[in-house]
Amino acid sequence: VGKGQTFDTGGYCIKGGDGMDAMKMDMGGAAATFYAACAIARLKLKIRLTVITPLAQNAISSEAYLPGDIIRTRSGRTVEVGNTDAEGRLVLVDALDVAKDLKPDIIVDAATLTGAQMVALGTDIGAVYGDDRLAKTLMKIGEESDENFWQMPLYKPYNEMLKTPIADVKNVGGRAAGSITAALFLSGWVPDKVRWLHLDIAGPAVFTDKVPYGKGLARGFGVKAITAFAEKISR
């Protein structure tokens, strides 16, 4: 599952002008999963693979959603909008709900999800959450493929930050632990028996100079690691 925000202004909780042009790369998760799938197909790996890339644009309009809105998701769960710039997780949960219906053994989602990921790990390292064994496998693969990941905790007491009296859950939990609370939010749509990895790649996918063809351009972060991960679990 790959987050595909084709552009993200922040909506009515609008971003500042500095760096907004980079938000054309807010579809980095969708791009990574799509091109990893292309590589997996060419390698003819013995694996059942479905790719889901929810696509949207977050902008201001007369029909745009607002802070304080209550949204009913595909699963029926309701979400209070605390910040319109936390939109990626809203499209992701519907995609995760679609993935659940396909009865997978493993779900991997990739998303340029939070600025908090970059604050915690910088622009060279992606955050990985979820199944401990799978996360360790991905971290080892990442070292070998020059796409480094570090496992972050799904610290369940922080679910308290997402509570609201007027919906099942709120889409933001405040400034503290923003990458963790975003991952906890997503986890509410993942079945307990499904092994899951969430890759928050906001820093390395968007804000990086590690490309040979021009400063500030996307590097396709995640393609190599996801492909190698699929190859590993297919054996």
DSSP string, the chain: -B-EEEEE--TTSPPPSTTGGGGGGTTHHHHHHHHHHHHHHHHT-S--------EEEE---TT---TT-EEE-TTS-EEE-S-TT--HHHHHHHHHHHHHHT--SEEEEEE---HHHHHHHTTTEEEEEE-HHHHHHHHHHHHHHT-EEEE----GGGGGGG--TTSSEES---STTHHHHHHHHHHTTS-TTSEEEEEE-HHHHHS----TT-TT----TTHHHHHHHHHHHT-
Catalytic residue among 3, 89, 219, 224: 89
Query: Would residue 175 show up in a list of annotated catalytic residues for this protein?
Result: no
Query: Would residue 193 show up in a list of annotated catalytic residues for this protein?
Result: no
- List the catalytic residues: 15, 89
